[in-house]
C-alpha cells in the first residue's frame, strides 16, 4: 500500500458493468514528507474520499477485489481508507 | 489503472488463438497534464478506441481477463474505456 | 522480498474489517549498504517490529495472505521477519 | 505486453523439469522508435523466434501459463509473437 | 526472469514455518554486460547456489510457489538455476 492524495476524478465511457457503481479517483503518490512524487493511479473509491484527502491505497488486484467483496471486479487499485495521521521517527 | 493515449497498433504473427479476436493497441502512458511519459503498453482493446483517443487502461492480468469475460486470455493490459473528462483540483 | 527499516506507522479510518487486527507500518526500502532508497511501503506487521528495526518484507499479495493464514486479506506487503544479519561478500 | 528484440539466449542448469522443454531467450525492451531501453527479460519462447527478431512479449505469470497450456509452469514472461509491423500516428 | 549474481545472504527471525527450510540469498540484478544495476532481491534458493554465482531468478509469486512444489509458500523470488552461459549477438 502507499499513501496518496486525491487530486481529482476521471469520467469515462466504460461498457463493463463492473465499473458502473464506483467513482474513479485520481490519486497522486506521496512521499513520506507529503509531497507528490509525480506518479499517480486511477483508483476505485470505497470510502467516499474527497478531493484533497490524504488516503491509503491498496495497489494489488486480488486484494482490491476482496475489499470490494466481489470476485469479479476489474480493478487494481482501491482507496481503502482516509489517513488520520502519519507518525515518523 | 492509468490514463493513456492510443498512438498506434501492432500487427504480429501470434499462434495462440486467444489473441485472434482482439486488436492490439499501442497506448502511451500520460501524466496528469496529458503529456506522454515515454512509457507504453501493448493493450487489448474492448471499446473500439481509435488512434488519438484518451483512454483508461487496466493493467492487471486477472482483472483484464474478467473484462474480457474469459478465464483464459493471455493478456495483462486492456483498454477499458474512453476518457470523457479529467477533473483536477 | 526486500530489506527495509521501520520508520513509523500510519493511522487511518478504514471500514474494511480485514484491517482491524493489524498495525500498519511505514517501511523504508534499504539498499545493501543499509541506506534508505527513498521508496517505501505501508506494510502489515506480523512480527511486532518496532520503529528503527531492520526487517524483511514480502511484497506479493498472494504470499502475504498466506503469511496471515487468511484467504481474504486485502494486503500486498507484510513484514515477515526481523533481520539479524546481512552477510555480503 | 511490450515490444522487444531477441538479443541472445541463456543456458542454465535448472533442476525443475518444467523448464526442460523451453528455450530461454534474452529479450531487450524496445521503445516505440525501436531503440533498446536498457531493460531486458529472460523469456520462454513459444514461437521459435530467432536472434534479431522483433517480438511481442507477455509479461504476466498467469497469462504466460495459459499461453503454454500448462497450469504449472514457473514463468513470468513469454514471447508470444513475431511483430510484423508497428503502426504509429 | 532476470539474471543475477549472489552477493550474500540474510539471516532473519521469521516465525512463519514456511521459511524454515530455505536459505535466503541476496541476489544483485545484472545487466546484459554482467554489471550490477543496483537493484536486488532477497530470494529463496532451490539450487544450492553459492556466493558469486551467476543465477537465473524467477520473480513471480505463483510461479515461485510451483518451483517449490508447495501451494502455500510466501515467496516472490526464487533462484531457479545457475547460469552456464549468456550468448548475445
- The complex's ipTM? 0.87
Q: Is residue D52 part of a domain?
A: yes
Share of chain C above pLDDT 90, in %: 62
Contact (CB, 8 A) for B27 and B37: no
Q: Is residue C11 part of a domain?
A: yes
Judged against a pLDDT cut of 90, whether residue D19 lies above it is answered with no
More confident: E37 or C73? E37
**A76, B63: Cβ pair inside 8 Å?**
yes
Q: Is residue B61 part of a domain?
A: yes
Share of chain E above pLDDT 90, in %: 63
Confidence of residue E66 (pLDDT cuts 50, 70, 90): confident
Chain E partners within 8 Å of D13 (Cβ)? 47, 81-82, 84
Q: Which one of B8, B10, B65 makes the best mutation probe of the D interface by having the most chain D beta carbons within 10 Å?
A: B10
pLDDT for the residue A74: 76
| Residue D36 in contact with partner chain B when CB distance is under 8 A | no
**E11, C46: Cβ pair inside 8 Å?**
no
pLDDT for the residue B73: 74
Q: What share of chain B is helix, strand, coil (3-state, %, to 5)?
A: 10, 55, 35
CATH number, domain containing residue C68: 2.40.50.220
More confident: A7 or E67? A7
pLDDT for the residue A76: 87
C-alpha cell at B24: 492490439
Tell which phi-psi region holds residue A17, choosing left (phi > 0), alpha (psi between -120 and 50) or beta.
alpha
Q: Is the Cα torsion angle A45, A51, A56, A60 positive or negative in sign? A: positive
Task: Calculate mean pLDDT across residues B17-33.
Answer: 88
3-state secondary structure of B38: strand
More confident: D62 or D84? D84
Task: Calculate mean pLDDT across residues D65-82.
Answer: 83
pLDDT for the residue D76: 87
The count of domains in chain D is: 1
Judged against a pLDDT cut of 90, whether residue E62 lies above it is answered with no
Q: Which residue has the cell 479476436?
A: B21
More confident: D61 or E56? E56
Task: Calculate mean pLDDT across residues B60-87.
Answer: 85
Q: Is the Cα torsion angle B18, A64, E61, C4 positive or negative in sign? A: positive
State pLDDT tens for residues C24-57. Answer: 999 999 999 999 999 999 999 988 999 999 999 9
On average, the pLDDT of chain D sits at: 89
d(CA C32, CA C4): 10
pTM of the model: 0.90
**E10, C62: Cβ pair inside 8 Å?**
no
Judged against a pLDDT cut of 90, whether residue B26 lies above it is answered with yes
Q: Is residue C46 part of a domain?
A: yes
More confident: A7 or C21? A7
Alpha helices by DSSP H, listed for chain C, are 61-67
Q: Which residue has the cell 534458493?
A: E45
Confidence of residue B54 (pLDDT cuts 50, 70, 90): very high
Nearest C-alpha of chain C: how many angstroms from A40?
15
Q: Between chain D and chain A, are at least 3 CB pairs below 8 A?
A: no
Q: Is residue C67 part of a domain?
A: yes
State pLDDT tens for residues A18-64. Answer: 777 788 999 999 999 999 999 999 999 988 999 999 999 999 888 88
**Which residues, other chains included, contact E50 with Cβ-Cβ below 8 Å and sequence gap of 6+?**
E6
Q: How far is CA E9 from the centre of its chain?
A: 11
d(CA A30, CA B86): 20
Chain B partners within 8 Å of A54 (Cβ)? none
State pLDDT tens for residues D30-56. Answer: 999 999 999 999 999 988 999 999 999
Judged against a pLDDT cut of 80, whether residue E20 lies above it is answered with no
Concatenating the DSSP letter of every residue in E37-57 gives EEEEEEEEESS---TT-EEEE
Q: Is residue E12 part of a domain?
A: yes
d(CA D9, CA D23): 8
**D76, E63: Cβ pair inside 8 Å?**
yes
More confident: C17 or D82? D82
On average, the pLDDT of chain B sits at: 89
Lowest mean pLDDT among A56-65, B24-33, C67-76: C67-76
Q: Write out the residue range of the structural domain in which residue C20 sits.
A: 2-82
Judged against a pLDDT cut of 80, whether residue C21 lies above it is answered with no
Q: Is the Cα torsion angle E71, E10, D75, D73 positive or negative in sign? A: negative
Q: Which residue has the cell 504509429?
A: D88
Which of E8, E41, E74 lies at the smallest CB-CB distance from C63? Answer: E74
Nearest C-alpha of chain B: how many angstroms from D34?
13
Confidence of residue E15 (pLDDT cuts 50, 70, 90): confident
C-alpha cell at B57: 487502461
Q: Which residue has the cell 492509468?
A: B2
pLDDT for the residue A40: 96
Q: Is residue B11 part of a domain?
A: yes
Q: How far is CA D26 from the centre of its chain?
A: 7
**Which residues, other chains included, contact D84 with Cβ-Cβ below 8 Å and sequence gap of 6+?**
B11, B12, B13
Amino acid at each position: 500500500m502507499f499513501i496518496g492524495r486525491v487530486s481529482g476524478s476521471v469520467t469515462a465511457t466504460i461498457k463493463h458493468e463492473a465499473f458502473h457503481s464506483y467513482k474513479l479517483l485520481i490519486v497522486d503518490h506521496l512521499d513520506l514528507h507529503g509531497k507528490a512524487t509525480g506518479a499517480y493511479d486511477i483508483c476505485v473509491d470505497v470510502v467516499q474520499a474527497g478531493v484533497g484527502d490524504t488516503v491509503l491505497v491498496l495497489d494489488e488486484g486480488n486484494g482490491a477485489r476482496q475489499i470490494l467483496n466481489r470476485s469479479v471486479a476489474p480493478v487494481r487499485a482501491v482507496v481503502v481508507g482516509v489517513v488520520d495521521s502519519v507518525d515518523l521517527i
